[in-house]
Every structure is written in structure tokens, then in C-alpha cells.
Structure 1
Amino acid sequence: MASHHPRPIFESRLDRRTLLRGLGGGAAALAAAPLLAACSGGPAPAAAGANATSLGSGLSDPVPRSAVQAMVDAFKAKSGATVKMNVMPRAQLVDNISSYLQSNPEDVITWYAGYKMRYYAAKGLLAPVDDVWEKIGGNFSEGITKASEGEDGHKYFVPNYNYPWGFYYRKSLWAERGYEVPATFDAFLSLCVQMKKDGLIPIAFADKDGWPAMGTFDYINMRTNGYQFHLDLCAHKESWDQQKVKDVFDNWKALLPYQDPAALGATWQEGARSMTGKKSGMYLIGAFIAQDVTDKEILADLDFFPFPAIAVEGTDAIEAPIDGFVLSKRAASNKTAKDMVAFFGTGAGQDAYAAKDSSNMQTAKDANTSSFSELNKKGAEAIAGAKFISQFFDRDALPAMANNVMIPALQGFIKDGTIDTRTIEAQATSLYAAE
């Protein structure tokens, strides 16, 4: 989401973004390859017996960057391998992934489950890791295992962690003001009215980078129309120009007066600080919010609740994206690369990550969860208790649909409350027909 988020850094976004983002291949992506040469620079595939590999990471924020480094260091200590790392801003990796994979990528790459992985696997740009899964398969739940498969049934993804999205808030503020967790959308709206009367921004909101608003859309869509509709809409098996989609935006429109009016100029970190600083009452974001909270007292004061029920399925569906690793096509025969991702699929590998970044939840069954914070325990329970687990919109949908269509459409909606579902459907029809 996420990253989400996926916790993106978008400071390097240039005008090229409109040309490159979300491209799935073809002439446009190939034309971008020279531009990507400066972005990758991975070594040539390791020679037989060289015990060397490389990792390209889009986790460039300080906390996840140190966590990935800890995983790599643990693997190097265990194997004696040489690992070259290339850390880049998430936007640089995500916006240019197609041309990156076709030019000079590292062997192992930080990436995401969902359509965002299956899409590039189907393009032949990723190497299957079925042999890795023969070693680690028993370490993962059925749902996570399924999320690691391509459309052809082969495994292309090794999970690292996942994290729930929900409304985060300061317990002390809520206790002071007498606020109660709302179970229904009507109760939620009433809470927003009260918060506004109390001089708070009810909902911290930040969408400068485009992706955070997708989390709000996903939840309102699932709560209004159900989890299956979310999947079918993302896959364009459902039309965007229909009443069910308009209902989503009508429900969201009721929230607009209570969202931070400065949202389009704020990063997710700034949204987090609005909530932790008690300027806002709550914030719909992923568990990675804990990465931005350095004060232990504030961290201990955080709690969260699921997006309240609207029309269908209650709160059975939860947005809990899975982050992990893929293997570039050229690394298909690199034993060291496969050994490294196999290690990343163990408790030992994921615990090394979690020791540096405790905001997310390890996915391996043999990982050590004894140090989970109360917030993490609550998140893990929410994921375990969910009947349906969605990936973030930009992972469940065609990349170009998420980046080229949804980001401007949602930002326009946030700005003035209007949405043109007919135009969105025309764009979706064109994009998906080109596949």
C-alpha cells in the first residue's frame, strides 16, 4: 500500500513519471531503458560457484533500509556470500520497474504480492522460485502461499511481512474527550462531527504522493460492495461506470468535510504527525506508521480500529498488503540468489528485519513474535480474524490503471468532490484491452 506501502519516498519524481510510471513493457518501457541505466547498475549474473548475488531495494526510508541491511548481513554471516546492494527511492523503483527489469536489474528485488507481482511474472520478467518454496513452503499460511503465485501457478514471490491498514489514534486523547470506537459508518460520521466541534481535524489525511488515498477507496469499496467486487473491479471484470462505484464515492463524499483540507500537499509522515501531535483525531494508514514514531510514550499510546461497517460483510475484509522479494529473470540460475531469498523466508531472516523495524508483522510461522508490541498483537489478531485479506489497490490492479488513472482521479475527487466514472471506465477499457 505498502506500501504500502509501502512507505514511499517520492522526492525523486521527475517529469518522466508521467511517461514511465506503471508501464508494463513495450516500446515506451524499452525507450526508458537508457534512463534506467543510472538507476540500477546491478552486477552481471554471478558465475557458477561465485557465491555472489545482489539486491535492489526500494525501501529507502531509514528504518526499513536498516532492516533490509540486517537481513542481508544475517545471510552473509550464515553463508559467507558476497551481496551487492542498490538502495533507491521507492518511486524510482516502482515508477520504472518494467524498464528496470528489462535493463540491468539486481538479482533479488524488494517487491509486493498481488497483481503487481503476477503482472510482471506473466510478462516473463521474473524468475520462478518453486525450488525455493520446496524448502520454505511449510512456513506460510494458505492465504500467503496463494498470494505468492503467478497466474501460471508457479511461485514468484517470497513474503517477508505484512501489515494491516486501519484507523490509528491516540488513546489518551480519546479517553480525555470521551470518544468511543465506532462500529458503523453512521457512528463514525457522528464521531467526526464531534471531533470537529472539539477543534480537531477529525481525519488526518495526506495524499501528496498519490497512493495513500487508495487505501480509503479500497475500504469504502469493500465495505459498500464486498471483497469480491474489489477484486473484480481491480481486474476490470466489473465496470467503473456503474451505480456500485458511484455509491463508493457518495459514501466517501460524506467524509470529505472531515478530512485534512491540506491533504494534497502533505506526505504520509506529515499526516502521521498531525495525529500523533493531537491535531487530528484519527488517521487511516498502515501499521508502518510506527516507523515514524520515535517517542516510545507516544508509540505506547497508539491504538487502531478497523474501518467501520457500511453495507455488506461487516468488517470481514481487511487491507493487509504483503511485502517481500522477487527474483529477476536473469538470476534464475544463481544459486546464491535463491539461497538468499530462501533465508528471507525463514524466521531467522525475518526476525533480523523485525529487530530493526518492529512496525510490521513477520509472515514466517517460525518467526519470533514474543516481542510484538500491543499494537502489533492487535494487528496480528485483526489479520488472523479476517475472512478476506486484500492487497492495496496499486497491487491488486493493473499498474498503469493504478498510477496513470486512479492517482489523478482520486486527487481530483479529494480536491473538489467530483468524479467522472465514465472517463475512468473508458481509460480502464483501453488499458486492460492492451494487455
Structure 2
Amino acid sequence: MFGRRSLLRGALAVAGVAALPALSACSSSKSGGGSEASNAVSFGSNAAVPEPKGAYQTLFAAAKKATGLDINVNWVDHNTFQQNITTYLQGNPQDVFNWFAGERMQYFAGQGLVSNVNDVWDKIGGSYTDAMKAQSKGSDGNYYFVPFDYYPWAVFYSKSLWASKGYTAPTTWDEYIALAKKMKADGLIPIAFTDKDGWPAMGTFDYLNMRMNGYEFHINLMRTGQGWNTSKVSAVFDQWRQLIPYYSPGFLGLTWQEGANQILNKQAGMMVLGLDQIGTIFTGSNADDLGFFAFPEIDPANGQDSVEAPIDGFMVAKSPKNAAGATKLLEYLGTAAAQQLWLGSNPADIATASGVDTSKYTKPQTAAISLINSAKHLSQFMDRDTLPSFADPVMLPAIQKFLSSPGEASSILSNIDAQAKTIWATNG
């Protein structure tokens, strides 16, 4: 998302929709115009990398057999898609596109840039929990989102490396730091931390804040923007400063893939990341070597009761060319059968629909279910739980500045607070 992102942002804004070129699709409109017999549905994907692109290709081939639809995919890399999403939706977007639950979904629903998918939920609703349904609705009570998969953020490691070193999973902060020191003495990079793209660091902030200040404080901070320049948030950055000496050398110039490979190649001991990301690196015979533990407790009052578990899924553009086809495709994607197929090709996530055969899950997937089910609170991730105009333009560069100059935390928080007040006043 960031790193070079600040440099790309201006170019992408100028490029506009050209950064996400539209695919042609046969005509059909939500109001009934066009040909409902059209078999072409266009799809905007943020999954241009080999995995999960390959899993989507398998899924869309199956979707064609099940629905008769031709899915014309516009493959775009995740960062470009996400940073250009507003311009994309205001231009000529594909009929269906990848997106996320939480504030990110509700924001675009509130802006009138997407269509409701109530008709889809009339068909798939019986396969979803009330909690998952709630994550799929806008503030007006309509459905705008079809969840497909979700996954936890945790502290990941190589089981075989840990077994060879005799490491055990820490549950408290003191144990976590002690383990990092031991790993450093053993010649390892204690914590694979790589933040060229900016967004990976958000997960560490979220966990520190929830562990120190509790879920309610964290989610209110995300949703209201109030409280950034306080002693509670300052304490989070003070705590974070303790980890920096154990991070990967040159971490601000490294991508998350490079960090995940440090874990895979047994160069580093542990890494705070999402299963959705690192699970695409630990594949094949390496899949079950991936272990993880919940981010450690800092304040016993909060324990480890909150888990970051982002939900990914699909939305429909405001004026899809083939509305009937978009509905038909999402009705299929919302089934356990479709999600089971996806997970078989990309075992880095957990299905959102009920009825999936969990006996076919990998060990990390099974452990992920246990972690999520044990949580008292689920967060969606900073850039999904807060306003898009705040997460990317403000928090990404602010966190990177802190990581490069931790001594400037006070002025950084003051600046964040000032920008938050302006942004929420504008969106208020």
C-alpha cells in the first residue's frame, strides 16, 4: 500500500481509471435495460499475483460450468487496486469487484458508488451467521457485500525451525521480548518485519492498541478519529519502540513477501502478518510447517481477547452492465461449494459460508478457526475499520515516519490528531 505509494499516488490520480482499465462486457442493466441473456460478467480483481490469481482462475472456470457465465477479469495488483478504488468506482468499473467488509464497504455504500445485493442475500442468507450478515450491511440496513473468506492476523513462525531450537510460544509481552532476545543470540532475525508497502505495520499497531487499551477504545479510535494525541496512544508507540531493534534490517525497503520468505527460509523467527498473505508463501509440502500464536498479552485486563480477522468478499458497481449476471455470479460465490473449491486451490483463508468440509483444511486453517472462535472481539484491520481518507493518506506515512524516527512520536501523534479532526469534520 505505501513505501513508494506516496510517489505513486499523484501519478495514479492523474491516470485515473486508466490504472484499472475496464473490460468490455455484454449489456444488461439493473433497471431492466439491455439483454438479460448476456453471458458475460466483468470482474475487477485485486489478485494479479500468481497466488491467489491461480485460485481465482480455477474458481471462475467452475463458476462458468455452474452458471453458464463468462467472467471477464481485469487483473490488477492489490496495492494499485486499493489505492485507486475511489477513482475506479467513479469511472467505468467492472460489474463485480473484490473488496472488504467493515468501514471500507460501508463508506462506498454511503457514497452511492455501489449497488445493494439484497437479491443475492435472499438466496444465500441461510448459510451465514448473524455476525457475518451484520458485516455485510451498510448503515441503511441494505446488503452491499457478499463475504467469501476471512483469516486471522497472528504471529507466524516455522514449526520445524522452532522445534530445532526448542522455542515455545509466548503468551505475555515479557515472554515475547525474551524470545526475541534468544532468537537474536541464536543468529536469527527475531521478527521479520517488512514495511515497504506500508500496510503490514498497521496490524502491529492494531494489536498493540487492543492489547493495551482494549477493543472498545481501539474501534472508537478507528471510527471517530478522536483520541490520537492522548497518553493512551502515546503509550502504544512507546511499547512499539521496544520491538524495533529485533526487526529485519532495512525493513522499510522490504515487501511483505520478502519478510514471509525470511520465515520460510528459516532466516527469521516470527512475523506479525495475516494468514491470507503468509499462507500463499507456505504452500505444498510447506503448508503444515506454518505455525502461529495469538499476539501476546500486555495488559491482563484485555488479555488476548481480540483478534484481527479481516473479511474479504465482493461488491457490485453502481451501474453494472450485466446486473442479472452479477447477481447470478454472486449467488454462486456465496455458496459453500464455491468457497470449498477456492480453499482447495488457495489454503490461506477460511470460508465464510456454512457447510464447508473443514476436514479438508490444512493445519494452519484449522488452527485459524480455533483462534478466531476463541476471540471475544474481531477487528477488521486499520485500513478497513476507519475512513479511507484517513487510513491511507494519514496513517500509512505517519507510521512509516515513526518507524524511521521513533523519537518523533509526539509530533507525529499531534499531526495525526490534527488531520483526524479535519477529516472527520469534513465527513461528519
TM-score by length of 2: 0.92
Task: Compute the displacement of 1:19 (Å).
Answer: 7.0
CA-to-aligned-CA distance 1:321-354 (integer Å, 9 cap, x gap)? 0111000010297111011011111011112211
**Equivalent residue for 2:92?**
104
Cα distance in structure 1, aligned partners of 2:72 and 2:162? 47
TM-score by length of 1: 0.91
**Equivalent residue for 2:168?**
180
Match of 2:226 among 220, 229, 238: 238
Amino acid across the alignment from 2:59: M
Change (3 A) 1:14 1:317: closer
Cα distance in structure 2, aligned partners of 1:214 and 1:237? 15
**Equivalent residue for 1:40?**
21
CA-to-aligned-CA distance 1:375-433 (integer Å, 9 cap, x gap)? 11001111112111110101111112111111111111111213221110001111121
**Equivalent residue for 1:386?**
375
Match of 1:154 among 142, 147, 168: 142
Mean Cα deviation higher: 334-343 or 411-420: 411-420
Task: Compute the displacement of 1:38 (Å).
Answer: 5.3
Cα distance in structure 2, aligned partners of 1:181 and 1:113? 31
Amino acid across the alignment from 1:430: T
Task: Please say if residues 169 and 283 of structure 1, whose CA atoms lie closer than 8 Å, have aligned partners that are also in contact.
Answer: yes
Task: Compute the displacement of 1:39 (Å).
Answer: 2.0
Cα distance in structure 2, aligned partners of 1:154 and 1:293? 38
Amino acid across the alignment from 1:424: I
State the aligned residue count. 415
CA-to-aligned-CA distance 1:275-306 (integer Å, 9 cap, x gap)? 1212111111111212113451x332221000
Matches within 5 A, 1:75-224: 75-224=63-212
Cα distance in structure 1, aligned partners of 2:116 and 2:208? 35
Amino acid across the alignment from 1:363: T
Task: Please say if residues 210 and 407 of structure 1, whose CA atoms lie closer than 8 Å, have aligned partners that are also in contact.
Answer: yes
Cα distance in structure 1, aligned partners of 2:356 and 2:390? 36
- 2:321 is aligned with 1:340: no
Task: Please say if residues 229 and 238 of structure 1, whose CA atoms lie closer than 8 Å, have aligned partners that are also in contact.
Answer: no
Amino acid across the alignment from 1:345: G
**Equivalent residue for 2:9?**
17
In angstroms, what is the RMSD of aligned CA positions?
Answer: 1.9
CA-to-aligned-CA distance 1:254-292 (integer Å, 9 cap, x gap)? 111111131101111100111121211111111121211
Task: Compute the displacement of 1:226 (Å).
Answer: 0.9
Cα distance in structure 1, aligned partners of 2:82 and 2:139? 21
Give the fraction of aligned pairs with identical amino acids, expressed as a percent.
42
Mean Cα deviation higher: 102-111 or 348-357: 348-357
Q: Structure 1 regions of 5+ residues with no counterpart? A: 1-7, 21-28
Cα distance in structure 2, aligned partners of 1:136 and 1:295? 32
Cα distance in structure 1, aligned partners of 2:103 and 2:46? 18
Mean Cα deviation higher: 233-242 or 314-323: 233-242
- 2:352 is aligned with 1:363: yes
SS in 2 for 1:291: coil
Change (3 A) 1:262 1:16: closer
SS in 2 for 1:366: coil
CA-to-aligned-CA distance 1:188-220 (integer Å, 9 cap, x gap)? 111112111222111110100010000000000
SS in 2 for 1:15: helix
**Equivalent residue for 1:431?**
423
